[in-house]
Amino acid sequence: MILYFSGTGNSKWVASLLAKKLNDKSYDICAIDDEIDLTQEKQIGFVFPVYAWNVPEVMLKYVRRMKKQDVFTFAICTCGADCGKALKRLSKLYHLDSSYSVVMPNNYLIASKIEDLSVITKKIADAKNEIDTIASEITARKKVYRVHEGSLASLKSSIINWGFNKFARSTKPFHVNKQLCNQCGKCASMCPSKTIELIDGYPTWHDQCYMCLRCFNHCPKNAIQYGKNTENKKRYCLDEYL
C-alpha cells in the first residue's frame, strides 16, 4: 500500500509508477475519509513532495493519526533539488526501513520560473530509472537511505522551514484575473485542502491552505495569480511532459 500526497502530480506519478512495478496499490491521502485498513498489507510506503525541506503538514498529520504496522515501510520525497532532513523527520513519526528522494521538475513557480524543457525531460527520464532501482530494492527488502539532503540540511529543515510555515503560507496573495478566468470552477473542485470557494463564479481563498499550488499551476486559463509577479509566468503541469 502506497499512501501519497501530491499537489501538482509529481508525487502521484511516482507513487503510481512504483505501485505498478511492485504490483501494489497507491492511494491519495486527501481522498481517504476513514482510516484505511492496513493490517493485511505486506509493505507500506509514503510518497509526498518536500515543502521547504520538510514534510508537508497534511502528510505529517496523516501519519501521526495512523496505527503503526510491523511491516516493511519506506518513504519517498519528491523535490525540485533537495530535501534536507525531511525523511529523518518523518522517520520520527513512523519507523522507515528505507528513505529515498526523487528529483522531479520544480513546481514552486511563485518564487522561481519554470525550468528549461531539457532540464524537465532529463529529470523525468532520470526519475523513471530511479523508480526502477527503488522498486527492485524494495522487493529485495534492502534497507536504503538515498536522499539528496543538500547543503545546510539541518538548518533548512528547521529554521527555514519554520519561517516558511510562519511567513510564506499566506493565502492572501492568491487572486484571480477576472479577464482570464472562465469560471470553470476547476480550482475549487481540485483543491486538496478545500480552501477555495467560488463567489459569483470566481475563486476566493480561505485563510489556510497546503500551498501545494495545484490551483495556480493547473488553472486551464492561467488566471490564478500569487502576488504581483506571476502574470507572465509559464505554469507547470507534469502531463504536458509525459
Ligand X SMILES: Cc1cc2nc3c(=O)[nH]c(=O)nc-3n(C[C@H](O)[C@H](O)[C@H](O)COP(=O)(O)O)c2cc1C
Q: Which is nearer to ligand X, 44 or 109 (CB)?
A: 109
Residue found by looking up cell 499551476 in the block: 217
Q: Closest separation between CB of residue 21 and ligand X, Å?
A: 18
Residues 124-153 contacting ligand X, CB under 6 A? none
Which residue in the set 46, 51, 100, 174 belongs to the binding site for ligand X (CB under 6 A)? 51
Q: Which window, 6-14, 59-67, 131-139, 222-230, contacts ligand X (CB under 6 A)?
A: 6-14
Binding of ligand X by 8 (CB under 6 A): yes
Q: How many helices (H) and strands (E) does the chain have?
A: 8, 10
Rounded to whole angstroms, the Cα distance separating 124 from 136 reads 19
Rounded to whole angstroms, the Cα distance separating 22 from 211 reads 30
Q: Residue 157, SS3?
A: helix
Binding of ligand X by 16 (CB under 6 A): no
Q: Which of 86, 114, 99, 101 is nearest to 45 (CA)?
A: 99
Residues 185-214 contacting ligand X, CB under 6 A? 211-213
Residues 97-126 contacting ligand X, CB under 6 A? 104, 106-108
CA dihedral for 158, 209, 19, 133, sign (positive or negative): negative
Binding of ligand X by 82 (CB under 6 A): yes
| Binding interface with ligand X (CB under 6 A) | 6-11, 49-53, 78-82, 104, 106-108, 211-213
